[in-house]
Amino acid sequence: MNLEEIKQKLSTPQKKNYVRDAAVLLPLVSIKDELHILFQVRALTLHAQPGETCFPGGRIDRDDQDSQAAALREFHEEFGIKQEKVTILSSLNKIESPRRGLIHPFVAYIDSLDEIKPNTAEVEDWFTVPVTVLLSTPPEIGYVDVIIKPGKDFPIDRIANAVAYQDKRYSTPESFYVYKEHIIWGLTARILQEFLEHIKS
């Protein structure tokens, strides 16, 4: 293979392979002339993260045209609101999740919640939070300890500076937004935080 062949291959767009990627909506809705953000509480019967607060969304299917289409489809499946009632405003930065691939977030405006019919197989509850409340209330910060522990197939004896990868521990901050009885954290808080930073600036 020569340099020209490499240049040609690099200039050819690769077909997107989402594998485990997911797409979510950060839905804005106007309630009594005030903008709110819609959140959902995951059904208690789900195997993954039951009862936790999140944005509507889910895995990107092969049949989805792209990540935005997946976010709209998932929103409709979870809340029953027709896609024509949803306007995509912008995408946000993708977030890499070690267990779930890339998360593709989109900010959207929902015309109304009048037609909301949550899918009880996926949604335990839902609630909205005024944007002004989130802007004026900084999140609480907690720390998670992360331990680096090489797996059995990791060639620890063959790499330089091996001691740096043996049972090392470090702390990483997590943001927690608290609203009434609800707590918003994890990837949802990271997406929310980016959105709030955007509109603050």
Torsion-angle region of residue 108: left (phi > 0), alpha (psi -120 to 50) or beta?
beta
Higher pLDDT, 46 or 140: 140
In terms of Cα–Cα distance, which of 93, 61, 91, 92 is closest to 77?
61
As given in the structure block, the two tokens for residue 111 are 């015309």
pLDDT of residue 128: 97
Indicate the average pLDDT of the chain: 91
Q: Please, which pLDDT band fits residue 201 given cuts at 50, 70 and 90?
A: confident
* Alpha-helical regions (H) of the chain: 3-11, 67-79, 131-136, 186-200
* The pLDDT value given to residue 31: 95
pTM value is 0.85
- Taken in order of first residue, the domains within the chain and their CATH numbers are 16-200 (3.90.79.10)
Q: Name the pLDDT band for 194 (thresholds 50, 70, 90).
A: very high
Interatomic CA distance for residues 80 and 192, integer angstroms: 23
Give the pLDDT of residue 18: 59
β-strand partners of 177: 184
Per-residue pLDDT at 148: 80
Q: What is the largest CA-CA distance in the chain?
A: 64
Average pLDDT for residues 21-41, to the nearest whole number? 96
